[in-house]
């Protein structure tokens, strides 16, 4: 795997590959039964909505925390020792 490619176990290429969309705007809502996660761009609005159960929202949360920690270990240690952006 190219070190610059995202590490994604479920990535597909070629025919049938899914469309990727850039997002820098996020909203999360919930009720007793589901979470709604919206992705979009600040100047263009929401382009994707995903509904998940609370159990799978927890799985996604844990995966993001784990992947961000791995990213920090791999890439922040290579930087010039500056403070981590907040």
Q: Which residues lie below 8 Å from residue 22, measured CB to CB, with a gap of 6+?
A: 41
pLDDT score, position 1: 42
pLDDT score, position 11: 53
Q: Is residue 67 domain-resident?
A: yes
Q: Is residue 84 domain-resident?
A: no
Q: Is residue 83 domain-resident?
A: no
Number of structural domains, the chain? 1
CA atoms of 76 and 86, how far apart (whole Å): 13
Residue pLDDT tens, the chain, 86 long: 445 556 655 555 566 788 899 999 999 999 999 999 999 999 999 999 999 999 999 999 999 999 999 999 999 877 755 555 55
State which residues form the domain around 34.
25-76
14-22, Cβ contacts within 8 angstroms, sequence gap of 24 or more: 21/47, 21/48
pTM confidence score = 0.68
């Amino acid at each position: 795997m190219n070190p610059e490619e995202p590490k994604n176990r479920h990535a597909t290429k070629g025919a049938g590959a899914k469309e990727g969309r850039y997002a820098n705007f996020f909203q999360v809502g919930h009720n007793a039964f589901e979470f709604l996660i919206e992705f979009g761009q600040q100047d263009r609005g929401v382009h994707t909505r995903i509904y998940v159960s609370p159990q799978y929202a927890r799985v996604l949360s844990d995966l993001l925390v784990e992947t961000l920690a791995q990213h920090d270990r791999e890439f922040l240690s290579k930087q010039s020792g500056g403070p981590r952006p907040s």
